[in-house]
Amino acid sequence: MPEVKGIEYEIIRSNRKTMALQITNEGKVVVRCSYLTNPQRIYTFVASKSEWIKAHLEKKKNEPKLPPFTQEEIKILADKALVDLPPRIKYFAEKMNVSYNNVTVRNQLTRWGSCSGKRNLNFNCLLMLTPEKVRDYVVIHELCHLKEMNHSKLFWAEVAKVMPDYKIYENWLKENGNTLIKRLRK
């Protein structure tokens, strides 16, 4: 395994155009890049990010080790979400003048919500462990996909129309969400 400034990293090559850095839940550093990326360029990339990597590895080391959710806890969260979310979805859909088909609640490992081309909405049961405004942000985010099925400037403008301070709640998920989702993975 290659190493830069005391940081070991794994290289995963694929048909991609950009280089990306990932720190897995297990604390491994992964560089994702093109098949054609020169090893020296990868080394330089990792070296340029070394302070960021070390800070995140240290943060990960100090994260509390919480037990995985039990099936019973997941069911309770899902049942609660099926009561809590539909009225919020209906409220914001009417406010935004959009229509949707089915609403599903799941224990998703990588997403807080999703919207299909068939206008079906899916939400993560773990939303019930987030503040209400964060839940509203995820609902609004998915409903905005009914207008814009991408993350373009137009999409984010739609989100901002309904929730101008959405970045606060998006950041809450970035900072705290992984701690919750990791408890599903064990």
| Mean pLDDT, rounded, of the chain | 93
Q: 125 and 44, same structural domain? A: no
Q: 80 and 34, same structural domain? A: no
Which of these three, 27, 44, 62, is where a domain ends?
62
Q: 57 and 11, same structural domain? A: yes
The pairing of beta strand 121-124 with beta strand 7-8:
unpaired
Domain CATH code at residue 126? 3.30.2010.10
- Spatial strand order of the sheet with 10-14 comes to 10-14, 29-34, 20-23
Q: 161 and 117, same structural domain? A: yes
Query: Among candidates 53, 49, 48, which has minimal Cα distance to 28?
Result: 53
Q: 109 and 17, same structural domain? A: no
Neighbours of 169 (CB within 10 A): 21
Which of these three, 20, 35, 62, is where a domain ends?
62
d(CA 145, CA 159): 9
Output the six-digit token pair for 67.
């037990």
d(CA 81, CA 108): 13
Q: 80 and 58, same structural domain? A: no
Q: 56 and 75, same structural domain? A: no
Pair 167, 119: CB distance under 8 Å:
no
Q: What is the pLDDT of residue 60?
A: 80
- Domain carrying residue 143: 71-182
Q: 58 and 75, same structural domain? A: no
Q: 135 and 76, same structural domain? A: yes
Which of these three, 37, 62, 87, is where a domain ends?
62
d(CA 119, CA 125): 19
Q: 24 and 105, same structural domain? A: no
Say which residue, 186 or 89, is predicted with more confidence.
89
Mean pLDDT is lowest, of 30-39, 42-51, 57-66, 94-103, for 57-66
DSSP state letters, the chain:
--EETTEE-EEEEES-SS-EEEE-TTS-EEEEEETT--HHHHHHHHHHTHHHHHHHHHHHHHS--PPPPPHHHHHHHHHHHHHHHHHHHHHHHHHHT-----EEEE--SS-SEEE-TTS-EEEEGGGGGS-HHHHHHHHHHHHHTTT-SS-SHHHHHHHHHH-TTHHHHHHHIIIIIHHHHHTT--
Pair 134, 86: CB distance under 8 Å:
no
For residue 137, is pLDDT > 60? yes
For residue 63, is pLDDT > 80? no
Q: What is the pLDDT of residues 81-136, one digit of tens each?
A: 999 999 999 999 999 999 999 999 998 888 999 999 999 999 999 999 999 999 99
Q: What is the pLDDT of residues 10-19, one digit of tens each?
A: 999 999 989 9
Output the six-digit token pair for 14.
């694929």
Q: 97 and 155, same structural domain? A: yes
Q: 165 and 88, same structural domain? A: yes
Total domains in the chain come to 2
Q: What is the pLDDT of residue 21?
A: 93
